[in-house]
Structure 1
Amino acid sequence: MDRPAHDAPLDGNAVAGLLGEAFAFETTLALVRCATCGRTDVVARARAHVSAMGAIVRCDGCDAVLLVVVERPDGTLVSTRGAAWLRAPRPADRPY
């Protein structure tokens, strides 16, 4: 069965606008859900352990690692492995 043209896969450039909007937000206001205990709160209420290399962000409920941010010469590496999800806040002026 032939797939309709609108279902044809595109390369990653097709999501540039979506990713640009998703990552252009006040990160401390983003909601994060802990994959370990299920607690959901804004990133600002998590506990951050910061060093010259980056940061480890831990759940305030169970102490599990939510996020790891590492500054590297080739860019910033962000791991969200301990987060079930991270939801960007939606600006009030967006129509959706």
Structure 2
Amino acid sequence: MSQTPHFLDGNAAAGELESLFGTDMTQASGRCRGCSAEMVLAQTHAYLGGPGTVLRCPGCEGVLLRLVRSPSRMWLDAGGLAYIQMPVPA
């Protein structure tokens, strides 16, 4: 019996992140505060089944980013990331 992971890759969060940042964030990179792993957001583990979107580090499973949307507001907590680096649109 094989176990199916309960997460998707970070590409699953692309639409939510683009609606906030106005650009494709899947190739933005960051560093985990927990284990110092560096990755592009497409490589993170995305959990979408709760009240919001959660991205976790593929190395240590620490929470990197939480994004919650209501009809009138969005909340972003990226406290698990030491930084986010993204290309500047041309």
Q: TM-score, normalised by structure 1?
A: 0.65
The one-letter code matched in structure 2 to 1:25 is: T
- Alignment partner of 1:32 out of 16, 30, 33: 30
Equivalent residue number for residue 64 of structure 2: 66
Instruction: Give distance in 2, aligned partners of 1:39 and 1:52.
Output: 25
Out of 82-91 and 54-63, give the one that drifted further.
82-91
- Cα contact 1:27–1:43 (8 A) shared by 2: yes
Unmatched segments (≥5 aa) in structure 1? 1-22
The count of aligned residue pairs is 70
Question: What's the CA shift string for 1:17-46, capped at 9, x where partnerless?
Answer: xxxxxx332111110110111111100000
The structure that has the greater radius of gyration is 1
Contact in 2 for aligned 1:66/1:83 (Cα 8 Å): yes
Q: Distance in 1 between matches of 2:30 and 2:77?
A: 13
Give the TM-score normalised by the residue count of structure 2: 0.69
**CA displacement at 1:67 relative to structure 2:** 0.1
Alignment identity in percent? 33
User: Runs (4+) of structure 1 moved beyond 6 Å?
Assistant: none
Q: Alignment partner for residue 82 of structure 2, among 62, 81, 84?
A: 84
Distance 1:41 1:52 in 2: 24
Partner of 2:14: none
Aligned partners of 1:76 and 1:51: how far apart in 2?
A: 17
Separation in structure 1 between the aligned mates of residue 50 and residue 61 of structure 2, nearest angstrom: 21
Please, which runs of 5 or more residues in structure 2 have no aligned partner? 1-20
After TM superposition, give the deviation of residue 80 of structure 1 in Å: 0.3
Bigger share in helix: 1
